[in-house]
Amino acid sequence: MSPPGDDAGMPLDPLVLVVDDEAAWAEELCSTVGRYGFRGRAGNSWDDLQRIMAEEEPDAILLDQRLGRVDTVSRLPELRQATDATIMVITANVSEVDRILGLENGADDFLIKPISGREVVARLRARLRRRPEAATPAPPRPAGAPGTPARPGGSWRFDPRGGGLWRPDGSRVHLSLAEFRVLAALYQASPQSVSRDALSQIAFGRPWHFGDRAVDNSILGLRRKLGDLRLGGTLRTIRAVGYVFTGFPED
C-alpha cells in the first residue's frame, strides 16, 4: 500500500515490514498482522528492505536473520542508525550467541521459528506499547544566526522565512505547506534533532500520536524532492527522537 498524499493528515495503521527470503512465509505473516490492525508490507531481501524504507517509515520490522547471503544480525547497527522502528529478528537458529549478539546490535526481540503468527502479533503489540516517547528538541535557531553550522552542498538555496527552496540548477522545488514547515524547522534546528511531536505541532497544528503518519509522509516527500533517499542521508531518522537535517546533497 502506498502512503497517502503529504497533506492528507490522516493517521494510518502502524506499518510492519516483514522481510524474509521465503516469499510465502513473508506474505502469510503480512496477512496475519493485517488481520490484527497493522499494515503489512513484505520484502524478500536486504535490498527490498532498503527500498521500502526509502518509501515509507515503518513502525516495526520483522526481519529474517538470513536473507540469502546476508546475515542481518551483522547489519543491525546500520539498520538501527537509520530507523527507530521496533526490530524483531525471526530465525530458525537456536544459537544463544547469535541471540545475544542480535540484541546487543540493536534488535528489540529475537523470535525462534517455528512460531505462530498469533504469538508474533502478541510480541509485536507488547514491544510497540513500550516504545519510548519522543524527546523534546532544542529550540530552533534563526537561519544565519551566530553559531549556525556551515551546510555542505551550498548550491542549494533555502529561505526558511518563506522564500522557498531552489536546486543547484536554479529551478524551484515545489513544496507543500507541510513540507516547507517541516524543512524549515529541521533546517533552523540543525545540528539538533526535532521530535515528531514538535514537527506535528509546527506543520499540522496538532500533537503527534502513535500511528500518525503525517510527519513521516512529509519527510518522505522532502527526501524524494531533494533526490536523497539514502538511509541516514539529508533528513536522518534519529531513533526514539525524530529527525535531523544533516545538510543538502552535494552537487
Give the residue carrying C-alpha cell 540548477: 169
> Which class is 15-129 in CATH?
alpha beta
* pLDDT score, position 114: 85
Q: Where are the domains of the chain?
A: 15-129, 157-245
Is the full-model pTM beyond 0.95? no
Bridge-based pairing of strands 164-166 and 172-173 is antiparallel
Instruction: Enter the C-alpha cell of residue 28.
Output: 502469510
* Chain segment 164-202, per-residue pLDDT in tens: 888 888 888 888 878 888 999 999 999 899 998 999 999
Residue ranges with strand state E in the chain? 15-19, 39-43, 60-64, 66-67, 70-71, 86-91, 109-112, 157-159, 164-166, 172-173, 194-195, 235-238, 242-245
The 3-state DSSP class for residue 238 equals strand
* pLDDT score, position 164: 83
Under DSSP, the state recorded for 191 is T
* pLDDT score, position 24: 92
Q: Residue 43's closest CA among 120, 33, 29? A: 29
CA gap 201, 68 in Å, rounded:
43
Residues of the chain where predicted confidence (pLDDT) is lower than 50: 1-11, 132-154, 251
Region of 245 (left: φ > 0; alpha: ψ -120 to 50; beta: rest) is: beta
| 16, 22, 27, 31: CA torsion to nearest 10 | -70
The matching CATH number, chosen from 3.20.20.70, 1.10.3720.10, 1.10.10.10, 2.60.120.280, for 157-245 is 1.10.10.10
Residue 155 · residue 194 · CB < 8 Å: no
